Amino acid sequence: MPFLIAAVVLVGAIAILNLLLTMAVIRRLRRNEANTSMPMHESGPEAGSVIPSFSATTVTGEELSEAAFSEQAGLVAFFSTTCSACKPAVSTLIEHLEKTGMKPDQVMAVISGEGDERAAFTEALAGKASVVTESEMGTLTASFSIAAFPSFVHLSGGVVDRSHSGVGNLTEAV
């Protein structure tokens, strides 16, 4: 009987030690997580910078350049046909444009990629934005330093107000 009591006490002591060590590991992981929070992926030119020089032709044949946005507020949206988050982002963008009353000449949508998906994006944005298509990671995407899709660059008077990837920040400014 004394051996049984000693075994139960030993198992209890080991369980308590295990619990304390687990709590210490959890505390350290939480502390490390708070210290190493990763910023959102930056995409687009820095706020306050001049609109990058560009020249593009829309799907309707209209010529566009940075001059189109030099005197008015505008938005440049970048989508990719290979991006799974881009298709729902188009709907969010359209809702945002309707809410803010932005006109198609204030908005340029750049669709990167090929095939049927590009046609679907173009059709959804027709009449809502000046749509420009290009190959994956084309010249417009490079000019605006786009690193993630979907990305949005908010413009005002020839200057970048802010840029971001993802639709979560779309409605914060403009």
Instruction: Report pLDDT digits (tens) over 125-161.
Output: 999 999 999 988 888 999 898 988 999 999 998 899 8
Are residue 67 and residue 21 in the same domain, yes or no? Answer: no
Q: How many Cα atoms sit within 13 Å of 66 on the Cβ side?
A: 16
Are residue 90 and residue 122 in the same domain, yes or no? Answer: yes
User: Residue 6 domain-assigned?
Assistant: yes
Are residue 76 and residue 158 in the same domain, yes or no? Answer: yes
Are residue 92 and residue 147 in the same domain, yes or no? Answer: yes
The pLDDT, as a whole number, for residue 37 is 41
Sorted by sequence, the CB contacts under 8 Å of residue 171 that are 6+ apart come out as 96, 99
40, pLDDT greater than 90:
no
How far is the C-alpha of 46 from the C-alpha of 44, rounded, in Å?
A: 7
174, pLDDT greater than 50:
no
How far is the C-alpha of 46 from the C-alpha of 120, rounded, in Å?
A: 30
Q: Which domain holds residue 64?
A: 55-165
The pLDDT, as a whole number, for residue 171 is 64
pLDDT, tens digit, for every residue of 85-108?
888 999 999 999 999 899 998 999
Q: Classify each residue of 22-36 as buried b or exposed e, where b means 16 or more C-beta atoms within 10 Å of its C-beta.
A: eeeeeeeeeeeeeee
How many domains, the chain? 2
Count Cβ atoms within 10 A of the Cβ of residue 120 and give its class: 0-12 exposed, 13-18 middle, 19 or more buried. middle
Structure tokens at 44: 């687009």
Single-letter residue type at 58:
T
Are residue 62 and residue 126 in the same domain, yes or no? Answer: yes
User: Residue 72 domain-assigned?
Assistant: yes
Are residue 27 and residue 84 in the same domain, yes or no? Answer: no
Average model confidence (pLDDT) across the chain: 86
For residues 9 and 33, the model is more confident at 9
User: Residue 49 domain-assigned?
Assistant: no
Are residue 110 and residue 27 in the same domain, yes or no? Answer: no
User: Residue 92 domain-assigned?
Assistant: yes
The pLDDT, as a whole number, for residue 11 is 93
Are residue 61 and residue 147 in the same domain, yes or no? Answer: yes
Count Cβ atoms within 10 A of the Cβ of residue 19 and give its class: 0-12 exposed, 13-18 middle, 19 or more buried. exposed
Query: For the whole model, what pTM was predicted?
Result: 0.73
User: Residue 93 domain-assigned?
Assistant: yes
Angle between helices 116-125 and 86-100 (to 10 degrees): 10
Are residue 143 and residue 64 in the same domain, yes or no? Answer: yes
44, pLDDT greater than 90:
no
Are residue 59 and residue 102 in the same domain, yes or no? Answer: yes
116, pLDDT greater than 90:
no
Which CATH number fits the domain that encloses residue 136?
3.40.30.10
Are residue 64 and residue 150 in the same domain, yes or no? Answer: yes
34, pLDDT greater than 80:
no
